[in-house]
Chain A
Amino acid sequence: MTAGALSHLRLVELGSGFASAYTAKLLADLGADVVKIEPPGGDATRKLGPFPAGRVDPETSGMFLYLNANKRGIVLDLGAAADLARFRKLLDRADVLIHDIAPAELSRYGLEPQEVIRGRPRLVATAIAPFGLRGPYRDYRAYDLNLWNAGGIASLNGGGPGTDDLPPLRTFGYQSTFQVGLNAAVASLGAIFARETSGVGQHVEVSAQEALVTILELTYPFWPYCQMVASRLGNKPIQPLDFFECRDGWVFLCAVEEHQWKTFVEIMGSPEWAALDIFADRLQRAANWDALKPMIASWMAEQTVQELYQLLQRRRVPIAPVSTMGDLWSSKHLNARGFFVSFTHPRAGARRTPGAPYLLSRTPWTLRRPAPLLGEHTAEVVRELA
């Protein structure tokens, strides 16, 4: 089997949230040997699910299985001196540490930025924190929802004009966590790459709030460039760029270029209303969207999602299905690319999971082993330390 791009790296993961777990997953899936440290009761994501057949079992939590495949798992009680010493020994021989220990607790484990790399000149030590390690919000608590708000993304999503009774809306899942995890992987890999030539490791600090502010697209600069506040309540400047309900599901239509609109009108059978002056160009279509949307919607209501998707796409009109989870699992395209992978876990059984987020031609993403049972590798790793 091809060695992974990072199969030379020994990584230690310590954390309570899943930012550290996700960052370590990105590196583990590319070959790194990750030792994940769990507290005696097990990682919090073991309680999160989803669980097969809905039966709660700390060994079969879907999120735990997803985030921790390819890793070895050990249990250490870092409140006890012997285990803390083992942890320090693990760090002494590690290339990389990824953690998301709360800033106020760093000193309990010797993880302050200068302390953790002292005497470990080649270690890359990455700390992930909601608001970074310094500044007035350093010790603020934040769940994923709070970060999505702190980073400015929630306030961009809502129902559009006339819906100011509805709050800013989160995006499903744990997106703040994943975004900061990706940024932590980027910064850590930069430091790992540099270490090979410079011989020196370093401390890496990553802020989740800042990671989110970098993905505000064109909305952030509206303030410094035009002194305009970006709002979820605004009108879209161009249309069609909206959701429609078909007979068997939803689609998102993006026919904003003139040629796309013309093709779409033709496919609708060139209804008379489409030729009205008030829909003459994309700006007018947006200004008169209240009138136009119901016209399109009544045609859409007669269509089926997959037929419309295939038909419009073959005519070069950007449209996408609103994929349900079932749609994704059965997508011919994703399956043809081998996106879903299978594994067998001693407790969860034979399962399928989303796989590679990227295809590397020479050092591919791999699923080498399922997530560890609680403490599965404690004895093995302790032996290695001896």
Chain B
Amino acid sequence: MKNKPLAGIRVADFSWVWAGPFCTLQLAHLGADVIRVECRDRPCVTRQIPPFADFQPGLNRSGYFNQYNQGKRSLTLNLKHPRALDVARRLITRSDVVAENFANGVMERMGLGYEEVRKLRPDAIMVSISGYGRSGPERDFVSYGPATVPLAGFSAVTGYKGGPPMHVGISYGDPTAGLHGAVAVLAALCHRQRTGEGQFIDVSLWEASATLLPDALLEYEMNGTEPPRDGNRDPHMAPHGVFRSAGEDRWVSIAVGTDEEWRSLVAVIGDGELASQRYGTLVDRKRHEDEIEARLTRWTTTHSPEEATRRLQAAGVAAFPAMTNQDLADDPHLTGRDFFVDLPHPEVGKRHHAGIPWKLSEMPCAVTAPAPCLGQHSREVLQEVLGYSESEIEALAADGVLG
């Protein structure tokens, strides 16, 4: 089998929670050897919160951790111990990439800031992910994932018409910053490949997120207006919404982008009134959107979301059910594409995890190992990667360095 793209690239991963681990997950998917440095007295937040397999708590049993750390190795170090820092430094000298997402100054206080890292490994690429970034007047502010969504501007423009600002349902800044971090690291690896030069990458959740609101930001820049919260509607399409379907709390999304799609929709639902000229253009449909939505709902409530989707898609109209996690797990399309990964895990057995959303034709990148148990690879990493002898490892363990 051919090597994966990042075969031979090692990542010293000091990150935790979601943003940093999501960044290094991308690198693991591409074949990098990602070694998560974890502390036993302060395990990753995602090891400590639900969902625990079958409701039985345990540091190796959370689906949250196990989702975002597939294919990585775990080395436990008590970073308060001076000799643990020696081990961390040795890991850095043998790594191509260093990743972290602690609060500002934490890596520097441990003596593992970029200035130290580049002394240990001049061509290292260090990626530092944080809520506010590593400079600027608010750099020391406390950043929690859920709060970066409103901070970055999403909540002001997301919500039901006339209602309060809303969240988006996930800590959206985390994966957004994680993916941006991965893009930047990969570009930096390409640069290093040609020049031998490493560098430091500063990613802020706030900025990475705000670059995804150009339409709202430019509306303000160009016209001085704030886009209103308008539910599921869109200024350039109508109808454009999520409509109640048959069944309990079941919904289907329908979006009509052209007049032709509108005519197809009307033909499928067979509503003679909607076939009238009054609704022929986008301008007409925006003017009568309430009425159109009400009539469309009469049709959607008599069909399951799946049936509505089948019939509308057959006519070339964009429609799809509002999927729940259960719907996704059972979805024939996703399962048929082998998207889910259920490798046997020593404590939770075989469970579905979301896999890799892309496929490379010449270097297939299937996930080859489940998320690690806490400290599962400590000895193997110390021995094989860092070159410690058995007796040195015993001494480190006895000294509480591996805690």
Do chains A and B stick together as partners? Answer: yes
Q: Which chain A residues have a beta carbon within 8 Å of chain B's beta carbons?
A: 5-6, 8, 26-27, 30, 48-54, 62-63, 65-67, 113-114, 117, 131-132, 134-137, 140-157, 159, 164, 166-175, 178-180, 182-187, 189-194, 196-198, 200-207, 209-211, 213-226, 228-233, 241, 243, 245, 250-252, 254, 256, 313, 316-329, 332-334, 336-337, 339, 351-363
Contact check, A361 vs B153: say whether CB atoms are below 8 A apart: no
The reply on B175 being an interface residue by CB < 8 A is yes
Report how far A319 CA is from B168 CA in the complex, Å: 17
Contact check, B219 vs A220: say whether CB atoms are below 8 A apart: no
Residues A252 and B155 in contact in the complex (CB < 8 Å), given A62-B218, A157-B169, A168-B242 = yes
A-B interface, 3 closest residue pairs, ranked by CB to CB distance from nearest: A221-B63, A156-B169, A210-B357
Report how far A49 CA is from B53 CA in the complex, Å: 48
A-B contact pairs, 10 of them (CB 8 A): A150-B253, A155-B251, A201-B362, A210-B355, A221-B66, A250-B155, A250-B165, A251-B150, A252-B155, A360-B184
Chain B 277-320, CB-CB to A under 8 Å as 1, else 0, gives 00000000000000000000000000000000100010011111
Question: Knowing that A26-B183, A222-B50, A232-B169 are A-B contacts, what are 4 other residue pairs whose CB atoms are under 8 Å apart, sorted by A's residue number?
Answer: A223-B329, A323-B151, A325-B157, A361-B202
Report how far A183 CA is from B356 CA in the complex, Å: 10
Residues A189 and B206 in contact in the complex (CB < 8 Å), given A173-B216, A206-B358, A320-B150 = no
Chain B 1-33, CB-CB to A under 8 Å as 1, else 0, gives 011111000000000001000100010001100
Contact check, B322 vs A149: say whether CB atoms are below 8 A apart: yes
Q: How far is the CB of B254 from chain A (nearest CB, A)?
A: 8
In the bound complex, residues from chain A placing their C-beta under 8 Å from that of B251 are 149, 155, 167-168
Contact check, B360 vs A363: say whether CB atoms are below 8 A apart: no
Contact check, B360 vs A325: say whether CB atoms are below 8 A apart: no
Q: How far is the CB of B280 from chain A (nearest CB, A)?
A: 19
Residues A186 and B182 in contact in the complex (CB < 8 Å), given A210-B357, A322-B150, A357-B203 = yes
Q: Give chain B's interface secondary structure class.
A: mixed
Q: How far is the CB of A5 from chain B (nearest CB, A)?
A: 4
Cβ-defined partner of B6 (8 Å) among A132, A193, A203, A351:
A193
Q: Give chain A's interface secondary structure class.
A: mixed
In the bound complex, residues from chain A placing their C-beta under 8 Å from that of B244 are 167
Residues A220 and B49 in contact in the complex (CB < 8 Å), given A146-B318, A334-B207 = no
In the bound complex, residues from chain B placing their C-beta under 8 Å from that of A143 are 237, 240, 255, 257, 318
Contact check, B199 vs A329: say whether CB atoms are below 8 A apart: no
Residues A352 and B221 in contact in the complex (CB < 8 Å), given A6-B190, A186-B179 = yes
Residues A218 and B50 in contact in the complex (CB < 8 Å), given A231-B249, A354-B210 = yes
Report how far A103 CA is from B150 CA in the complex, Å: 37
Report how far A155 CA is from B250 CA in the complex, Å: 10
Contact check, A135 vs B337: say whether CB atoms are below 8 A apart: yes
In the bound complex, residues from chain B placing their C-beta under 8 Å from that of A204 are 358-361
Contact check, B188 vs A363: say whether CB atoms are below 8 A apart: yes
Report how far A164 CA is from B216 CA in the complex, Å: 29
The reply on B400 being an interface residue by CB < 8 A is no
Report how far A231 CA is from B194 CA in the complex, Å: 48
Contact check, A324 vs B153: say whether CB atoms are below 8 A apart: yes
Residues A186 and B159 in contact in the complex (CB < 8 Å), given A50-B223, A325-B153 = no
Report how far A356 CA is from B133 CA in the complex, Å: 12
Contact check, A337 vs B221: say whether CB atoms are below 8 A apart: no
Chain B 236-262, CB-CB to A under 8 Å as 1, else 0, gives 110011111000010111110100000
Report how far A233 CA is from B67 CA in the complex, Å: 24
In the bound complex, residues from chain B placing their C-beta under 8 Å from that of A211 are 357
Residues A323 and B147 in contact in the complex (CB < 8 Å), given A202-B361, A337-B135 = no
Contact check, B242 vs A313: say whether CB atoms are below 8 A apart: no
Contact check, B158 vs A182: say whether CB atoms are below 8 A apart: no
In the bound complex, residues from chain A placing their C-beta under 8 Å from that of B325 are 152, 216, 219-223, 229-230
B327's nearest neighbour on chain A, judged by CB, is A152
Contact check, A186 vs B223: say whether CB atoms are below 8 A apart: no
Contact check, B219 vs A325: say whether CB atoms are below 8 A apart: yes
Residues A135 and B336 in contact in the complex (CB < 8 Å), given A66-B214, A149-B321 = yes
Q: Which of B66, B188, B243 has its CB near the most chain A CB atoms (within 10 A)?
A: B188
Chain B, range 152-176, C-beta contacts under 8 Å to A = 152-160, 163-172, 174-176
The reply on B276 being an interface residue by CB < 8 A is no
In the bound complex, residues from chain B placing their C-beta under 8 Å from that of A175 are 172, 212
Chain B, range 130-144, C-beta contacts under 8 Å to A = 132-133, 135-139, 141-144
Cβ-defined partner of A316 (8 Å) among B142, B211, B226, B352:
B142
In the bound complex, residues from chain B placing their C-beta under 8 Å from that of A324 are 153, 156, 226
Contact check, A217 vs B18: say whether CB atoms are below 8 A apart: yes
